[in-house]
């Protein structure tokens, strides 16, 4: 039996406003518990919410970036439920009329193909606080610092057909919100979170299967694993003659499995209704125009430009524009080198990315800046360094041993390009290895590599490989 997977994602992006969505309290992460919660966040009797215009601006920015309509009038609603970290007993969200309407993004797949994924809507809402269970005996702690932090909930269409597509989509949204500087995208701190709606259906079937909502997925890696697990679980249930039930399931990354949290029957009735404390949010066309002017070059545009301006393949261009910082690094590098876009791309995606991955570092934290890397690439281009030597110099630069020229100087890694010096060395080697020389001349071509090796050994790898090849060929032939 062939099964098709259907996935839709709900992404919560914490907006980078200085203050909360409905109060003046700070949104900074990591303060001692309950020190960044004012009376409004604490839900004190008599307090009222006042909308943060900056949060609206950010939502509009996102909407424009995904080609969505911006609602001229949207409404905040109360989502009612009791929980200790929800101070008012309701969350202010948007329900029937969200600020951002239908849009879409294009995702790149590993095989080089791309797909368009629909975005149903995006709406503004406030975050809840946190319940703390560790370190308490018989009680739970509540930290309301996060209560009232602005969130943009981005809801996709059920357009994804594999875990890999879901990851690509999540990465795309992640890249977008960071490009727009509306979210720091920090998955560990929970400022970028994802719930996945997953169902399966028989290949060719039109109707969607019953879905499960997977919660608590806090990395790209886990999104893939959680979906893969859930898809297999649902297939097993159906093939075993059972029925998938609509429910919310929690992903346990330690056990790599999902487990039931609550079924549809147990689901809360949130009793949504328009929040009478807030007027409908009215957005003038002029405001949208103003926000549009502040939009940066977006990943897709940047990718196209990279392909055009630098002659890069779609795949390379997509990789290099995945984050704004990476793209900026690349462009600074090309400029500092003065061209050689392909060489620059190879180094950024090769040595640099590998080193960053290995050290689990971000491009912004790279000890080798774009200008430093440019210094290194120039030494390759002027033949001071061979590719092999350049890698050695790069490692030294990464370790903090200074810029390329300093490392070359200190380590004496300068490539030998003086023909007469190389010829002298070759002459010595020919004298020292008469047997090999006569065998080579008798037709044993394979021995050529032996001589190359000897020259490199004698020069500690510093001889220019092309020159060595040419000179050896001439001299060995006699």
Partner 1 sequence: MHTKTLAQLARDLKARKLSSEELTRSYLARIERFNPQLNAFITVLQEEALVAARAADARIKRGDVGVLTGVPLAHKDIFCTAGVKTSCGSKMLDNFVSPYDATVVERLRQAGMVLLGKTNMDEFAMGSSNETSFYGPVKNPWDPTRVPGGSSGGSAAAVAARLAPAATGTDTGGSIRQPAALTGLTGIKPTYGRVSRYGIIAFASSLDQAGVITYTAEDAALLLGAMAGFDPRDSTSVDRPVPDYTAALEHPLKGLRIGLPKEFFDQGLDGRVGAAVHAALTIYKKLGAEVRDISLPNFWLSVPTYYVVAPAECSSNLSRFDGVRFGHRCESPVDLLDLYTRSRGEGFGAEVKRRIMTGTYVLSAGYYDAYYLKAQKTRTLIRQDFIAAFENVDVIMGPATPTPAFGLGEKTEDPITMYLNDIYANGVNLAGLPGISIPMGFVDKLPVGLQIIGNYFDEARLLCAAHQYQRETDWHGQIPKGFQ
Under the rule (CB under 8 A), what is the footprint of partner 1? 39, 42-51, 78, 80, 82, 84, 87-90, 142, 269, 271-273, 276-279
| Cα–Cα distance, 63 to 143 (Å, whole number) | 32
Residue whose CB is less far from partner 1, 77 or 377:
77
Instruction: Name residue, tokens 């030494």.
Output: 379
Task: Give CA–CA dist 260/461, Å, rounded.
Answer: 61
Contact 253, 64 (CB under 8 A): no
Phi-psi region of 186 (alpha: psi -120 to 50; beta: other; left: phi over 0): beta
Comparing CA positions, the residue from 164, 143, 145, 163 lying closest to residue 26 is: 145
Max distance between CA atoms of the chain, in angstroms, equals: 101
Distances (CA, A) of 477 to 52, 318, 442, 445: 81, 49, 10, 11
Closest distance to partner 1 from the beta carbon of 290 (Å): 22
Contact indicator for 75, 29 with CB cutoff of 8 Å: no
Q: Least Å distance between CB 274 and partner 1? A: 9
> What angle, rounded to 10 degrees, do the helices at 447-458 and 465-477 form?
130
Question: How far is Cα 435 from Cα 85, in angstroms, rounded to an integer?
Answer: 84
Distance CA(240)–CA(234), nearest Å, equals 10
Provide, rounded to whole angstroms, the least separation between the CB of residue 86 and partner 1. Answer: 9
Task: Supply the minimum distance, in Å, between the C-beta of residue 22 and partner 1.
Answer: 9
Residue 95 or residue 229: which is nearer to partner 1 going by CB?
95
The number of CA neighbours under 13 Å toward the Cβ of 124 is 31
Classify residue 147 by burial, with Cβ atoms within 10 Å: 0-12, 13-18, 19+.
buried
């Amino acid at each position: 039996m062939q099964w098709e997977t259907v996935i839709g994602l709900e992404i919560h992006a914490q907006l980078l406003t200085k203050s909360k969505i409905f109060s003046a309290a700070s949104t900074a992460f990591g303060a001692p518990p309950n020190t960044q919660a004012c009376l409004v966040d604490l839900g004190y009797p008599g307090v009222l919410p006042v909308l943060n215009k900056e949060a609206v601006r950010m939502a509009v920015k996102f909407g424009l970036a995904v080609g969505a309509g911006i609602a001229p009038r949207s409404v905040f609603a109360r989502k009612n439920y009791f929980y200790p970290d929800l101070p008012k007993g309701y969350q202010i969200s948007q329900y029937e009329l969200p600020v951002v309407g239908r849009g879409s993004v294009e995702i790149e797949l590993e095989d080089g193909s791309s797909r368009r994924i629909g975005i149903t809507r995006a709406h503004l809402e406030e975050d809840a606080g946190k319940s703390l269970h560790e370190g308490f005996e018989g009680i739970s702690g509540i930290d309301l610092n996060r209560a009232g932090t602005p969130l943009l909930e981005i809801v996709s269409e059920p357009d994804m057909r594999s875990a890999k597509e879901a990851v690509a989509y999540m990465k795309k949204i992640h890249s977008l919100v960071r490009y727009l500087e509306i979210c720091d995208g920090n998955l560990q701190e929970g400022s970028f979170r994802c719930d996945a709606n997953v169902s399966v259906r028989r290949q060719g079937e039109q109707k969607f299967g019953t879905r499960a909502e997977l919660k608590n997925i806090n990395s790209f890696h886990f999104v893939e694993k959680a979906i893969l697990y859930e898809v297999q679980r649902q297939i097993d249930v159906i093939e075993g003659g059972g029925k998938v039930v609509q429910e919310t399931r929690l992903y346990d990354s330690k056990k790599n499995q999902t487990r039931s949290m609550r079924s549809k029957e147990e689901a809360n009735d949130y009793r949504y209704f328009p929040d009478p404390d807030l007027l409908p949010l009215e957005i003038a066309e002029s405001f949208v125009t103003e926000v549009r002017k502040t939009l940066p070059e977006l990943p897709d545009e940047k990718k196209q430009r990279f392909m055009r301006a630098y002659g890069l393949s779609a795949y390379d261009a997509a990789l290099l524009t995945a984050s704004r910082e990476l793209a900026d690094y690349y462009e600074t590098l090309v400029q500092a080198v003065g061209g050689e876009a392909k060489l620059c791309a190879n180094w950024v995606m090769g040595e640099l990315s590998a080193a960053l991955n290995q050290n689990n570092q971000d491009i912004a934290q790279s000890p080798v800046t774009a200008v430093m890397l440019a210094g290194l690439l120039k030494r390759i281009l002027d033949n001071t360094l061979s590719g092999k030597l350049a890698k050695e110099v790069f490692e030294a630069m990464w370790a903090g041993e200074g810029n390329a020229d300093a490392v070359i100087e200190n380590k004496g890694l300068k490539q030998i390009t003086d023909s007469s010096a190389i010829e002298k060395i070759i002459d010595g080697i020919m004298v020292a290895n008469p047997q090999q020389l006569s065998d080579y001349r008798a037709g044993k071509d394979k021995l050529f590599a032996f001589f190359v090796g000897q020259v490199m050994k004698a020069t500690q790898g510093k001889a220019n490989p092309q020159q060595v090849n040419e000179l050896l060929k001439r001299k060995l032939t006699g």
